[in-house]
């Protein structure tokens, strides 16, 4: 088999100020830049993940609702394409979480991102037992400190603080407020990546100067040339503005519904109806709350597939952050990363 051509990367020597501020994060990830791609279900798969890692960023497979068998195949396929390290994002409420962790260990995955809630007992230890690093999401300072100070091998190696401007599942606080509250407290001694609403390098420069070791972007990469998302999905992003990316509402206080930010369409209205259906099932059928949450997650998985893969942008879920207004055309991943780095370097040079 002929050797693959060397992938285009963002030349780090061109961006000395940004490189210096990102060094801790890049060393931790084993990448050229400390730019992670947020895990987007159906989008963050082998093609986009490998392209981001090969271009100098850090791609992360979105496991989502995959079975262990599907994740096994996806990691193997990504490894066949990637020349640089990549990670895997696992949802903490997945009923087969420990089986998925075992699949990551089998493939020697170096970084596992845990999302969707507090890691269940034994999960962090199981990941670290394979030699992998653990990255956790922390929506509050109190939870961040708890995740970091866990003893006996149960502490996170790095955190992502993600604000409500992000796409997909979100918290209640903006990125800028979280950064001001958490970076001064944590960043000197710990690795903290900032996410949510980041679309340009000037914002990256600001968070790096505040102490972040790197950043995570999702929306900016969703419509990359290498993304398998349907052309109709990408066109919806190109047409959208920041105000079109709205958060879902919770119709029943009993349902543990984490708000989701997506472009408003008939699919967002359908989710409201789905919540009512599940709430009625709680009343009439006595299903457990955990089952109710899983039904909601399965709804999102199906709605996302309809939009991303099938191109049904009216009834599917168009999960997007408020930075969607900065996504105006299809671009190769390498050019996106190079542009972000150049913008960050220019901003730092003006200081």
Angle, nearest 10°, between helix axes 201-209 and 333-349? 50
pLDDT at 300: 81
Four-point Cα dihedral 269, 271, 272, 273, nearest 10 = 90
Whether this prediction's pTM lies above 0.85 is answered by: yes
The distance from CA 301 to its chain's CA centroid, rounded to whole angstroms, is 15
pLDDT at 279: 85
Going from the first residue of the chain to its last (351 residues), give the mean pLDDT of each consecutive group of 10, the final group possibly shorter.
44 84 98 97 97 98 95 98 98 94 98 94 96 96 90 87 95 95 97 98 98 98 98 98 93 79 92 86 79 79 93 96 98 98 98 82
pLDDT at 152: 67
The domains found in the chain, sorted by start residue, are 12-229+326-349 (3.20.20.70), 239-322 (no CATH)
Among the listed residues 124, 119, 84, the one whose alpha carbon sits nearest the alpha carbon of residue 104: 124
């Amino acid at each position: 088999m002929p050797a693959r051509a060397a992938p285009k990367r963002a030349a780090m020597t061109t961006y000395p100020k940004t490189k210096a501020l990102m060094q801790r994060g890049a060393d931790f990830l084993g990448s050229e830049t400390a730019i992670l791609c947020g895990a987007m279900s159906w989008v963050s798969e082998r093609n986009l993940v490998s392209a981001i890692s090969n271009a100098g960023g850090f791609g992360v497979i979105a496991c989502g609702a995959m079975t262990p068998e599907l994740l096994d195949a996806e990691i193997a396929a990504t490894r066949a394409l990637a020349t640089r390290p990549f990670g895997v994002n696992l949802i903490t409420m997945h009923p087969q979480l420990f089986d998925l962790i075992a699949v990551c260990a089998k493939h020697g995955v170096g970084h596992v991102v845990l999302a969707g809630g507090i890691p269940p007992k034994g999960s962090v230890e199981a990941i670290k037992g394979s030699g992998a690093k653990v990255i956790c999401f922390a929506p509050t300072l109190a939870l961040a400190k708890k995740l970091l100070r866990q003893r006996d091998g149960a502490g996170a190696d790095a955190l992502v603080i993600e604000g409500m401007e992000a796409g997909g599942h979100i918290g209640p606080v903006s990125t800028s407020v979280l950064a001001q509250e958490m970076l001064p407290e944590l960043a000197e001694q710990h690795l903290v990546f900032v996410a949510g609403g980041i679309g340009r390098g000037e914002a990256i420069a600001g968070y790096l100067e505040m102490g972040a070791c790197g950043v995570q972007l999702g929306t900016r990469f969703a419509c990359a040339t290498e993304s398998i998302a349907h052309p109709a999905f990408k066109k919806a992003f190109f047409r959208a503005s920041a105000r079109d990316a709205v958060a879902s509402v919770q119709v029943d206080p009993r349902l543990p519904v984490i708000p989701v930010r997506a472009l408003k369409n008939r699919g967002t209205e359908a989710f409201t109806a789905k919540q009512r259906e599940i709430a009625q099932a709680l009343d009439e059928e006595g299903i457990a709350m955990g089952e109710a949450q899983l039904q909601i997650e399965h709804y999102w998985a199906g709605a996302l597939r309809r939009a991303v893969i099938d191109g049904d942008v009216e009834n599917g879920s168009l999960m997007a952050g408020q930075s969607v207004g900065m996504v105006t055309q299809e671009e190769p991943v390498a050019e996106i990363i190079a542009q972000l780095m150049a913008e960050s370097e220019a901003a730092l040079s003006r200081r």
